[in-house]
Structure 1
């Protein structure tokens, strides 16, 4: 049986990174978006990314980034994946992939089956799709709000790309989410926090343990 990948996102401290690595995370995510309570500067990113061992992939989460922003994140060092969490088009995703030579993930905001099907446009442009819950109109943040979508939408769906599941996951429901969707990777942020942007090492450990038992 293939092991389910785990991405702990929105990390900003050494204890939280260590907890994610100890728990068996395959990916760790760093939010580079000033409006987010999980934002880390390029300087902090350079420091904390060094803590991540080579077998764990380091992901930078960006929202509609321009080229100078992308360059500043690359210059900070250590990033292997760009996760695009805005309204980036397939053309833009492909440009970034070609320009940086790095893996590109595109977050798809899901509420209906049509939202899922829209991911097909990114075939050949991105390396992976991450299905997250669609936030309310006018929300200040594109994600990380602890919302989930109807997981049964993924039953029988055949994604055009490798994919992962995000949105409202925590230690209590992740096993059910994996059972319903067959997700090969799960991504958590607010579900392992004690307050917005404050990671809880015990919750990280519990989440990783729950996934490992699936």
Structure 2
């Protein structure tokens, strides 16, 4: 069976993508140096949060995901990040390719919420590979990539921050129920507010004033 070895050589933002995309550099080696005609490669990426430490501010931001730090020994479980696929062209020995991984900034998605909570350092990722290898010298054959093929990757937090700032500068995303969104639309219209930022600022100011009045 064809023996492929996978290594992650780095990660960087895709500068010209239609949507936020990270490019993971892969070094793929066929250890027996048999000719590889192509690889239909699939990759599952997982975040391994237990493999790094966290600053106090990061701990506070991660409460929604993992609860109180006293519980982290049982709640700091791997998080699903993304699935990606690519067709690797023919090679012999070793080749290098970029694996495009689409990303989201939806704060309801656990991975995006996790990335947003981090201020610095690196994100421990595990890349799990599967797919099909097309190989053969005298005859063409297809072989599955064994499920145990994987690679570790330390993605700098700064790379994620650079990606999000490029596509969504100084902004964030909230997902709301339709009825809640319609209530906000009516509030905005009734008060002739020029932007959604003003809607939330107005509501927060009203709530703060009511809280101060109640405390008197």
- Shorter-normalised TM range: under 0.3
> What is the TM-score normalised by the length of structure 2?
0.19
The structure in which a higher percent of residues are strand is 2
> What is the TM-score normalised by the length of structure 1?
0.19
The structure whose RCO (Cα within 8 Å, separation 6+) is larger is 2
Q: Which has the larger Rg?
A: 2
